[in-house]
Amino acid sequence: MQATDEGTAGLAGYRAVLGLPGVASLTGIAFLARIPASAAAITLTLHVVLTLDHGYAAAGLVGASATVGMAIGAPLLGRLVDRRGLRTMLSLTLCAEAVFWTVTPWLSYPALLVGALLGGLLGMPVYSVVRQSLAAMVPPRLRRPAFAFDSMSVEMSYIIGPAVGTLIALQLSTSTAMWVVGSGFVVSGVALWLLDPPTRSAESRADTQPGRVREWLDLRLFAALLATTAAVVLIFGTELSMIAGLQSSGQPAAIAVVNAVWCLASLTGGFLYGAARRSPSLFVLVAAMGVATLLVAFGASWWSYALLLVPAGLLCAPSLAAGSEAVSTLAPEHARGLVTGLHGSAITVGAAISTPISGLLIDVASPAVAVVAVGSAGTTVALIAALLARRGGRRRLPLTDPAPVPAVVGPSVDPQPI
């Protein structure tokens, strides 16, 4: 089903979002905070491989350890925000980030495995914080452009962050790169602490009771989280398959070019999604991205990969934005932090599932087989999620057709994940 947002289409929607009090400041700090967050994984990988002299499998274990920690920690930290406020959570995670990135260069590999788990558990949940604050600051009428803008911001940070982390690690040292990443976390975290954006709407801040989980974790919310995981599985599986395909065909130098085309397609799709008056549901977007991903199996030369990635790329940012919008719509105010944390965990789980499975299929078969498997799985899961949402919404308003909201003066923002 489709939703209509009259009066918020085109650039007017984006202007309205950025015009809301505090949104422009939050958006700027969020972009800066996501650069070290996006550089963290590649920095740790290069440290394990280049400085500790271990293989990429060992580096993958460190990444997996951090991923497990983040998947567990995100809902817990979100609940802490619900109960004690944003500044309490930021104080805890800022101290943890400072300690982790300061001591990591001197840790042995076994100690780094444990440290990565704890670092992920207590890591500053930048993405979840931004989404939760945007959800509290932006009225439903402007959530689509707000989430789309946030998705585009994430794309830009992933173009910059890994490149900067790699450059510092290779030109200076991995220790320097980790200290720079840690400093970035601390500076951006302090900025967030000083800004202290709202995490709940003004009318609900007196209510601190979480209520029973079964009261809000229904089939519709579960379906939205499941579709979000499917979208992330598609993105990470496609990325790994593209890299493997270009490397195996002797075209590794073209990886950056092909990735840039993919990211630009995603940015374009995100902009068009946020500017549209009507848009498909989350489940249609993810299923369509799964079908479009199948085309990448026909890639051979670098230019063919670039062209075949455009259709899937156009649907990346819209799918992630739609997931954030759906989750924020279904999240009750008294448990918004916890639900946003679950959304972050859904993204983390998608990445954790996709990378090893895609890698195994690439090793035992080929990149094309991995793409077909990932695309088929993503499409199937999206359809299952749609059926669950329909079943859960029989007695409620449809997920993608929120009740009309009176026009508001000025912009509003609702945050996006992954």
> What's the N-to-C CA distance of the chain in angstroms?
24
Give the mean model confidence (pLDDT) for residues 127-146.
83
Lowest-confidence region among 52-56, 162-166, 294-298: 52-56
> Once rounded to an integer, what is the mean pLDDT over residues 42-52?
85
pLDDT of residue 3: 41
For residue 147, which of 224, 82, 209, 222 has the smallest C-alpha distance? 224
Give the pLDDT of residue 211. 54
Q: What is the mean pLDDT of residues 213-234?
A: 84
Q: Is the pLDDT of residue 418 over 50?
A: no
pLDDT of 180: 94
Lowest-pLDDT range, 74-83, 86-95, 392-401, 409-418? 409-418
pLDDT digits (tens, 9 = 90+) for 260-284: 899 899 999 988 888 887 778 899 9
Distance CA 338, CA 209 (A): 12
Task: Identify the weakest region by mean pLDDT among 111-115, 246-250, 377-381.
Answer: 246-250
pLDDT tens figures, 54-88: 876 777 788 778 888 888 888 888 888 888 888 99
H or E stretch including 279? strand 278-279
Positive/negative CA dihedral, 358, 71, 418, 289:
positive
Reported residue count of the chain is: 418
Residue 216 confidence class, pLDDT cut points 50, 70, 90? low
Cβ(348)–Cβ(74) below 8 Å: yes
C-alpha–C-alpha distance, residues 46 and 266, integer Å: 27
**Residue 326 pLDDT exceeds 90:** no
Predicted confidence at residue 392, as pLDDT, reads: 72
Q: Give Cα 128 distance to the centre of its chain.
A: 9
Residue 8 has pLDDT above 70, yes or no: no
Residue 171 confidence (pLDDT)? 87
CATH 3.10.20.590 fits domain 213-400:
no
Nearest in space to 126 (alpha carbons), one of 191, 68, 200, 47 = 191
- Judged against a pLDDT cut of 90, whether residue 286 lies above it is answered with yes
User: Taking the model in full, what pTM does it have?
Assistant: 0.77
Average pLDDT over residues 298-317: 92
Identify the helix (H) or strand (E) that includes residue 177.
Answer: helix 174-195
**pLDDT score at 5:** 44
Partners of 279 in the beta sheet?
3
- CATH number for the 10-200 domain, one of 2.60.40.420, 1.10.10.60, 1.10.357.10, 1.20.1250.20? 1.20.1250.20
Tell whether the model's pLDDT for residue 291 goes beyond 90.
Answer: yes
What whole-number distance in Å separates Cα of residue 20 and Cα of residue 411? 5
Q: Is the pLDDT of residue 312 over 50?
A: yes
Q: CB–CB of 258/305 below 8 Å?
A: yes
Domain 10-200 and domain 213-400, same fold? Reply is yes
pLDDT score of 259: 84
Sign (positive or negative) of CA dihedral 69, 74, 75, 77: positive
Q: What are the sequence ranges of the domains in the chain?
A: 10-200, 213-400
Judged by DSSP in three states, 172 sits in: coil
Task: Give residue for tokens 């902009």.
Answer: 271
Say if residue 399's pLDDT is above 50.
no
Q: What is the structure's pLDDT at 400?
A: 40
Percent of the chain having pLDDT more than 90?
A: 29
pLDDT, position 75: 85
Cα gap 396→118, rounded to integer Å: 40
